[in-house]
Amino acid sequence: MFVPSILLKQLYTHGSLTKTDNGISFSLKNRLKDATIKELKWISLDGEKIAPHKISLQLSTDNSVSVNELNEGPGTPFSLRQTITVHVALEQEVSPEKRKLGVCFSASPFGKLKFEVEDNVTEPSSRTTHIPRDDLDDYSETMVKKRQAYFESATGAKVNHVGKYSINPNDLKGNIEHFIGVAQVPIGIAGPLKINGEHAQGEFVVPLATTEGTLVASYNRGMKLLNMSGGVTATVVDDAMQRAPVFIFSNARGARDFVKWIKQNIDKIREEAEATSSVAKLTYIDNFLSNKFAFLRFNFRTGDAAGQNMVGRATFAACGWILDNYEGIENFYLESNFATDKKASQINIMRTRGKRVTAEATIKREHLLQVMRVDPKQIDYHGRVAAVGSFLSGVNNTGLHSPNGITAMFIATGQDVANVSESSAAMMYSELTDDGDLYVSITIPSLIVATYGGGTGIGTQRECLELIDCYGRDRVYKFAEIVASVVLAGEISLASAISSSDWVSSHEEYGRNR
């Protein structure tokens, strides 16, 4: 399996070349995929190969092997995100000068891997004044308690509620660093909400994690209203996750010609990108030329994962192949800030990031009058007035408060909450029907959600997903439809409250704890 040189170098942890009592050490971290090391062929320093008997590999806190033991064995597992510390019995002085470190080994499923990096030998850190951590086992009960004690000594306060949790810290590898405990956010439930989706069909009781009074009650009221008129119709209309590298040339013609070459070689680029994952599928590459820069916007399908890391790795592999096969590139950055990760943007509203999903319903006039004490004409007029306010403010959302419901569901179900930034964009639309009823619709163009991977498998988060039958594979479109439907319930509830002047009185009744 071909691995681009730029990707191979990522196995080395820069800044890890350290002087030790017996020589030097450095760290290798698997940033590719689960593998098995078959043979360590050689390690070199400044071009000179080091004698094998001077090398040992620390696989875990209490497991070290020599080169001979590793090479004569059946194979040593090297799982994704695992760190191996390499110890070399070779006396070296601490210096700011860069040294050339080379590594060559064979591993399944890749075959022979060889790379060279530059780093300088540094003093070992005593960490006496730093947060306690263990490079090989940082999630043990001992390390958690050490960090809690460090936090208490540093702040003069006690770790009490934070340190009480039901999850296994060892399950958090890849989710958090320097773990000391949990933040407990209250969870309420709203519903049931009837959804007529292509993937979410039936009635759902929805968990909402929040500390904002009236929020759960408001969404519950909106769900009741929507149910009376037959529920919500929800539709996922697009699906894409991006990484946007930029390639820099000597002039604009170089950038233009490069884009032509990219289009001609799209099949090979797709092959290299998709080789990094069994899930990621490269659908197309947008290109944008400016000055002497070629911006490429790689668009992927990512299955049930949100996929930012997945597409980053896939795009990095594809770019590695591009760099190895196209001459004239003067510089390259994996992310140009054009994917607008964790930022609201017009391009994601227009082109989709995550899931593009619409929720819509027609609400009977008598139901609005009965439950919300408001006439459809009042809400429709209020919506047109608010559209002017939206235009004047330049906001990315013509609705009222979709991030409220999205955030509450994100926290409850283990989503990356920072993605609310992109997911906050929404287009709200309403119209009066010939019968005097109210049609309402909201489109969320960049809803970034997952039902597998990331934080979705942790304790309460997995539990909340399971409560709405959305944990695991082949569930993400269902979850997206539920989120959009919940958002619509919140929109109609708040719109009714403002239009009927119930907004302040509701907060006075439910939202004060003073």
The per-residue pLDDT for range 283-325, each reduced to its tens digit, is 999 999 999 999 999 999 999 999 999 999 899 989 989 998 9
**pLDDT confidence of 240, banded at 50, 70, 90?**
very high
Q: Cis omega (within 30 of 0) on the bond before 192?
A: yes
**pLDDT above 90 (res 7):** no
Instruction: Specify the fold of 5-120.
Output: Immunoglobulin-like (2.60.40)
Name the phi and psi angles at 267, rounded to 5: -65, -40
The set of catalytic residues is 212, 416, 507
Digit-coded pLDDT (tens) for 48-69: 999 999 999 999 878 899 999 9
Strands (E), 110-186: 111-119
The mean pLDDT of 261-270, rounded to a whole number, is 97
Name the phi and psi angles at 450, rounded to 5: -145, 150
Instruction: Give which of 463, 48, 468, 441 is closest to 233, Cα–Cα.
Output: 441
Q: How far apart are CA 54 and CA 132, in angstroms?
A: 30
**pLDDT confidence of 504, banded at 50, 70, 90?**
very low
**pLDDT above 70 (res 29):** yes
Digit-coded pLDDT (tens) for 209-239: 999 999 999 999 999 999 999 999 999 999 9
The residues near 471 (Cβ < 8 Å, ≥ 6 apart) are 451, 452, 456, 457, 462, 465
**pLDDT above 60 (res 506):** no
Digit-coded pLDDT (tens) for 464-503: 999 999 999 999 999 999 999 999 999 999 999 998 765 4
Inter-residue contact 207 to 410 (CB < 8 Å): no
The residues near 313 (Cβ < 8 Å, ≥ 6 apart) are 31, 276, 277
Q: How far apart are CA 275 and CA 271, in angstroms?
A: 6
Q: How far apart are CA 341 and CA 72, in angstroms?
A: 46
Instruction: Give which of 33, 32, 34, 27 is closest to 12, Cα–Cα.
Output: 27
Report the Cα 467 to chain-centroid distance in Å. Answer: 22
**pLDDT given for residue 514 in this prediction:** 55
**pLDDT given for residue 501 in this prediction:** 65
Inter-residue contact 335 to 411 (CB < 8 Å): no
Instruction: Specify the fold of 245-333.
Output: Alpha-Beta Plaits (3.30.70)
CA separation (Å) from 404 to 83, 142, 211, 489? 39, 38, 11, 11
Inter-residue contact 100 to 118 (CB < 8 Å): yes
Specify the DSSP element, H or E, that contains 78: strand 76-78
- Amino acid identity, residue 261? W
List the CATH code of the domain at 187-239+352-511: 3.90.770.10
Secondary structure (DSSP) of 337-398: S-S-TTS--HHHHHH-SEEEEEEEEEE-HHHIIIII---HHHHHHHHHHHHHHHHHHT-SBS
Inter-residue contact 227 to 192 (CB < 8 Å): yes
**pLDDT above 90 (res 355):** yes
pTM for the whole thing? 0.82
Instruction: Give which of 231, 228, 230, 242 is closest to 273, Cα–Cα.
Output: 242
Name the phi and psi angles at 79, rounded to 5: -80, 160
Q: Where are the domains of the chain?
A: 5-120, 141-172, 187-239+352-511, 245-333
Digit-coded pLDDT (tens) for 151-169: 999 888 999 999 999 999 9
**pLDDT given for residue 273 in this prediction:** 94
Digit-coded pLDDT (tens) for 384-399: 999 999 999 999 999 9
Strand partners for 491: none
* Neighbouring C-beta atoms of residue 325, cutoff 10 Å: 13
